[in-house]
Amino acid sequence: MPHPVPENGLVVFAKRACETCAMVESVLGELARSGQALTIFTQDDPGFPASLRPVDDTTLEQSFRFDVEAVPTVIRLEDGRETARTFGWNRTEWESITGITGLGEGLPAMRPGCGSKSREPGVHEQLFARYGDTGLTSRRITLDAWDDEMEACFERGWTDGLPVVPPTDARILRMLEGTRLRPDEFIGEVPPNLSPITVEKVAVNAVMAGCRPDYMPVVLAALEAALQPEFTMHGLLCTTCFSGPIIVVNGPIARRIGMNSGINCLGQGNRANATIGRALQLIVRNIGGGRPGELDRAVLGGPGKYTFCFAEDESDPTWQPLAQARGIAPGRDAVTLFQGDGIQGFVDQRSRTPQELTRSLAMSLLAVAHPKLCEFTNAMLVLAPEHYAIFRDAGWDRARIERELHAAMVRPGKDVIQGAHGVGEGVAASRRDEMIAKFWPEGLLIVHAGGQAGLFSAICAGWTGGRFRHESKPVTREITA
């Protein structure tokens, strides 16, 4: 139980580690001898100041309840209400609050104090979770004293097969500081179970994924994009194919939160890349019910179903970023979600003209899904800087590259119909006499990313649901939360 605080009198918060608190110990003695009700809460050493019967506040409960930001803090209470406060040592203000003149003879007129222990990094959220009105509504799970938190998460099926960060109240509250949205604000219904999700539930899963609070706006925007009908998240989850959401982040926020758009940007090692994508996948699993072997029916799946998230390299002013190409204003933050598979490596270290490189890229892009399947999937081309430099130095911009690639992938129907060249797969035989494009005109997304050294780009095949051109599409959404 917290120590009772008198309705009237003075309350002081101090700590031994603060030089100013130690300096005013004699002043506190003067206050005690004045006959006024005086309560001294000590934050670090229950015996400080020893001669004045301090109250142990090493739990910091009273420091939290009085919202102490610095020590020493002096507060006057009248009829249980705070009527005055000062912090640090300022003789004039102390005299005004206490009504005693001539305090601290021989001391300097003023000296700043120190930060309250209740305001140390990470502490305030824990105190708020323990003593405050958190407003959190998520169902709480109480573990026994000897239970292992990590194992408890595995046992309850909350993980993707890797350990998750246990979502304590303090961690959830800290995560919620990353957004202006209210914890109870409704975001949408997460497929496949169409379960409602609030900002608080997003924060819970972001904690488990290992996100930092400043990642929250990206996670929220990615979720909002995934819930758009045209992203067909339900189908993407229930499909027997390999696919999952691929998240591409554009804008200043990518640099601000430390995302990787360079060396190994499609791989491991970057916290933001790894955990933002993982947070979305955990939301789909824990809120939407998209668990492998249940509603997730992927024959093989792929590593991207843990996480697939990276930032676009926007350092080259000649390159138009993906978000801008998809209608977002320059300088704005955005996410693009693409229904994609894993990485198909593209290696061409000999082509030196844009024409050669276009034909070379087209040969690899034609293999997406199957060389004879056309207008069947979309694709994402992650164009590495050295490959893009070949186009850039020849004056080719994004629009020219896209146009030339599409043209290079148009083939006679007779070569891609079912049964042609002794292969059963292909387009319908009725299209024998057509010239057939590999992708829909909007079906090839190009992203500029990767290390500066190496003529290696990547192709991410799209989900087979992309054949329903107007029903299943990539989605771009501005980050605003």
The answer to whether residue 349 is domain-embedded is: yes
Residues of the chain by 3-state class (helix, strand, coil), percent to 5: 35, 20, 45
For the segment 150-175, the average pLDDT, to the nearest whole number, is 91
Using CA atoms, how far apart are residues 398 and 312, in angstroms rounded to an integer?
14
Between CA 437 and CA 28 the distance in angstroms is: 85
> Quick one: 277 and 371 in the same domain?
yes
Say yes or no: 75 and 223 in one domain.
Answer: no
The answer to whether residues 93 and 156 belong to one domain is no
Structure tokens at 20: 């100013």
Report how far apart, in Å, the C-alpha atoms of 430 and of each of 412, 434, 440 are: 12, 9, 19
Domain at 22, CATH number: 3.40.30.10
In this structure, the answer to whether residues 112 and 155 fall within a common structural domain is no
Within a domain: residue 129? Answer: no
209, 102: one domain = no
Cα atoms in the 13 Å half-sphere on the side-chain side of 390: 22
Question: What tokens were used for 341?
Answer: 């598979």
351: left (phi over 0), alpha (psi -120 to 50) or beta: beta
Question: Most distant CA pair in the chain: distance in Å?
Answer: 104
Residue span of the structural domain in which 50 resides: 9-118
Query: Where a domain ends, among 118, 135, 167?
Result: 118
Which pLDDT belongs to residue 337? 97
User: Is the bond preceding 183 in cis, omega lying within 30 degrees of 0?
Assistant: no
Q: What does residue 206 show for φ and ψ, rounded to 5 degrees?
A: -65, -40
Q: pLDDT digits over 322-342, tens only?
A: 999 999 999 999 999 999 998
Strands (E), 317-410: 334-347, 379-383
pLDDT at 109: 94
First to last CA, the chain: 40
Confidence of residue 481 (pLDDT cuts 50, 70, 90): confident
Task: In whole angstroms, give the CA distance from residue 202 to residue 208.
Answer: 10
- Number of separate domains in the chain: 2
Please indicate, yes or no, whether residues 83 and 159 belong to a single structural domain of this protein: no
In this structure, is residue 55 part of a structural domain?
A: yes
Of the residues 118, 139, 167, the one at which a domain ends: 118
User: Are both 70 and 176 inside the same structural domain?
Assistant: no
Domain C-terminal end among 94, 118, 142: 118
Q: HSE on the CB side for 30, CA within 13 Å?
A: 15
- Quickly state the pLDDT bin for 2 (edges 50, 70, 90): low
Residue type, 112: P
Rounded Cα distance between 237 and 191, Å, is 8
pLDDT in tens, 462-471: 988 888 888 8
Question: How many angstroms separate the CA atoms of 280 and 308, rounded?
Answer: 10
Contact between 321 and 315 (Cβ < 8 Å): no
- Rounded Cα–Cα distance for residues 204 and 175 (Å): 8
Residues 112, 255 within the same domain:
no
For residue 315, is it within any domain? Answer: yes
Strands 38-42 and 55-56, by their bridges, are parallel
pLDDT-above-90 percentage for the chain: 78
Sign of the alpha-carbon dihedral angle for 238, 242, 248, 254: positive
pLDDT tens-digit profile of 180-214?
999 999 999 999 888 999 999 999 999 999 999 99
Residues 275 and 360 in one domain: yes
Q: Is 130 contained in some domain? A: no
Residue 178 has pLDDT above 90, yes or no: yes
User: Do 158 and 242 share a domain, yes or no?
Assistant: yes
What is each CA distance from 193 to 229, 285, 292, in whole angstroms? Answer: 15, 10, 14
Task: Retrieve residue 249's tokens.
Answer: 């982040």
Q: Please give the residue that has the higher pLDDT: either 122 or 75.
A: 75
Q: Do residues 187 and 323 both lie within one domain? A: yes
Cα–Cα distance, 323 to 409 (Å, whole number): 24
Interatomic CA distance for residues 90 and 112, integer angstroms? 8
- Amino acid, res. 201: K
Same domain? 420 vs 469: yes
Q: Is the pLDDT of residue 1 over 60?
A: no
Percent of the chain with pLDDT over 70: 99
The number of CA neighbours under 13 Å toward the Cβ of 460 is 27
Q: Report if residue 133 sits inside a domain.
A: no
Does position 366 have pLDDT exceeding 70, yes or no? yes
DSSP state of 42: E
